[in-house]
Chain A
Amino acid sequence: MDAEVLLKLHHLHLELPNGTALLEDVSLSVRRGDALGVVGESGSGKSLTAMSVMGLLPGLKASGAIRFEGCELLGMKDREWRRLRGAGMAMIFQDPMTAFLPVRSIGAQIDEQIRLHERLSRREARARTVALLGRMGVPDPEAAAKRYPHQLSGGLRQRAMIAMALSCGPALLIADEPTTALDVTVQAQILTLLCEIRDSGAGVMLITHDMGVVAQTCTHVAVVYSGLVVEQGPVAAVMARPLHPYTQALLEAIPPLDGPRPDALPTIPGRPPAPDARPEGCVFAPRCRFVRPDCAVRPALREPEEGRRVACVLYDA
């Protein structure tokens, strides 16, 4: 099973230069052909997790392990990491309007990524760009490549963004809330596209705060709370029988699949702790229904059942 693990984060810990821990303990894994949904409230550290995998957080101190295709990424030289970025792993951002450079055409920006990683002529790169845009369902891809970001609709921009991410055939695609800025119908189309990418054999890490999106698109789910992964498992099993009290609370109000998506997770009374004020024991304790005395010692992520991991004293045998 370990052979096909594409990305494995092991006790990833990320702190500011002043010592405040932004990510406490993130452990998760993505296999080829899997789509891992990463869910959690705003500020729980989902984006930070993604950015650490890409190595885009130069100011922060990371420890633990990030294994990608068997290589340890932490401590790698920036030059080597750069070769991976865009080629081995690629990222899609939330707002395709601001994520593209506004002053260059979409096609030029996709060409640029291709030519950064492969020795191709301008014309060959453009041919691939047009083919990719066509595959992403952009109508008249040749003309679309010549347009500037502001001339395309939000949906087309996000398709172009995905085309750019896929342009060098990455093994891992990280999508950070790729549909939040889009309206519902376009959202569904983009999610379908992500499913197709997953089916073609790439690993997908989909960051979202929408459990409905996870149910629709992902094979696995990791729940992040205040910089810690508190539960990970196959989507169907987790949805049917969530183990962690936080996951249970999240799932109590899944939004309907075809209604308007909420902007935030359904509310649970209370707020997640700030990075510099995490409780000593279980981070969810202040809001937990089942809190008991032994929650004062932080529970580790364990595997009480095959393929399911949870960090809660209720499952410590």
Chain B
Amino acid sequence: MIRSFASRTGQMLLVIFGISVLVFAIFFATPGADPTARIAGRGASPQVVARIRAEYGFDRPLPAQYATMMQKLFVSRDLTSFVNHGQRVVPEVLQAAPVTLSLVLWAAFFWVSGSLVFGIAAAVLRDSWVDRLLMVLGLIGLSMPVFWLGEVVNLVTQSRWHDTFLFRWVPPLGYVPFSQSPWGWAKALFLPSLTLAVCFIGLYARVLRSELLTAMGEDSIRTARAKGAGPVRVWLWHGLRLSWLSYVSLFGLDFAQLLGGGALLTEVVFAMPGVGRLTYQALATLDLPLIMATVMYAAVFVVIANALVDGLYALLDPRIREGRHGR
């Protein structure tokens, strides 16, 4: 148990190391481009450029440059953005993280409950008009661009019908920290997270429906019915039990990439100061240190989430648990 945990952690560190090298190579070791000028930003004075060159050691060999960069990111955490007047990058990312986490948690809640309801309903009523309607709705949700949907939601709730009783409660765009007002936090996050969840509801409902229908053809489901189990029990207890493996792995990946900044468009549209919007700003201003920091932050999240999903897998399926002990 301890050994498998240790080997798992080692693997994770190795992956994070690999990603950091890759990201570093792309941004700082691309031949023919001087990273100093790019860090300094457009129109920086020669003094600033010289200072940056010395600080990051761009006159030294690449491994030393990499080490300096990592030291600045993870140890001293004083990587600064020059585009943005000496703003420290790491605290900025850490400040943005709770916003993204709140948004994504709410969205996950909506898309899991929504897709469970729609997926199960469509599977149970397969080939009926309800099934067809739900699947078409799912396809529409799946194919609606989130920034467009967000703009429409904003248009409707912020200006067009804001003064009707339906949307009077909608707060102005932006984020309210939980510590400041839990109720305000929930209100501020409701529409953005629902918007973000829409396409996932569509996708997950479709996945769950097909997985459930495959599972219902299994021998063990026939056994459950032969035991005298009723339809509710057969579908929810036995059927779901067999079909949520791929659902869970899909969920882990999506959840992680959203936490890592994948909710960029939603955050921008709803003016949420999260990691995604930070990445967006960094890209818009070509703020290299900030890009480096957000990408590394995202990588760490994806790796951790993957490990958690693997753990959940083992919890859900004893056969996988065994395989890991054997290794």
Contact = CB atoms under 8 A, between A and B. Distances in A.
Interface stretch (A28-36, A81-89, A133-141, A206-214): A81-89
A102 interface: yes
A158 to B, nearest CB: 13
Contacts of A90: 226
Interface stretch (B86-94, B246-254, B281-289, B313-321): B313-321
Given A103-B318, A148-B318, A150-B319, A98 B220 contact: yes
Contacts of A100: 220, 223
Nearest to B221: A101
A118 B151 CA distance: 57
B149 interface: no
Contacts of A151: 318, 322
A148 B226 contact: no
A57 to B, nearest CB: 10
B259 interface: no
Nearest to A87: B228
Given A102-B317, A104-B241, A150-B318, A116 B220 contact: no
Nearest to B320: A103
Given A102-B317, A148-B319, A91 B226 contact: yes
Contacts of B317: 102-103
Interface residues of A, number: 28
Given A85-B227, A112-B227, A101 B238 contact: yes
Contacts of B224: 101
Contact of B241 (A98, A101, A116, A117): A101
Nearest to B318: A148
Contact of A113 (B228, B241, B319): B228
B156 interface: no
Interface in A107-150: 112-113, 116-117, 148, 150
B144 interface: no
Secondary structure call for the B interface? helix
A150 B242 CA distance: 15
B63 interface: no
Given A82-B230, A150-B319, A56 B219 contact: no
Contact of A99 (B220, B229, B233, B241): B220
Given A102-B317, A150-B319, A85 B219 contact: no
A164 interface: yes
A303 interface: no
Given A85-B228, A101-B241, A117-B228, A93 B223 contact: yes
Nearest to B231: A78
Contacts of A85: 225-228
Given A102-B319, A148-B319, 18 more contacts: A54-B226, A79-B230, A82-B229, A85-B227, A93-B222, A93-B223, A98-B220, A101-B220, A101-B223, A101-B238, A101-B242, A102-B317, A103-B241, A103-B316, A104-B241, A113-B228, A151-B318, A164-B227
- CB-CB nearest 7 A-B residue pairs: A86-B228, A98-B219, A85-B228, A86-B227, A113-B227, A101-B220, A148-B318
7 contacts: A82-B229, A90-B226, A91-B226, A99-B220, A101-B223, A116-B233, A164-B227
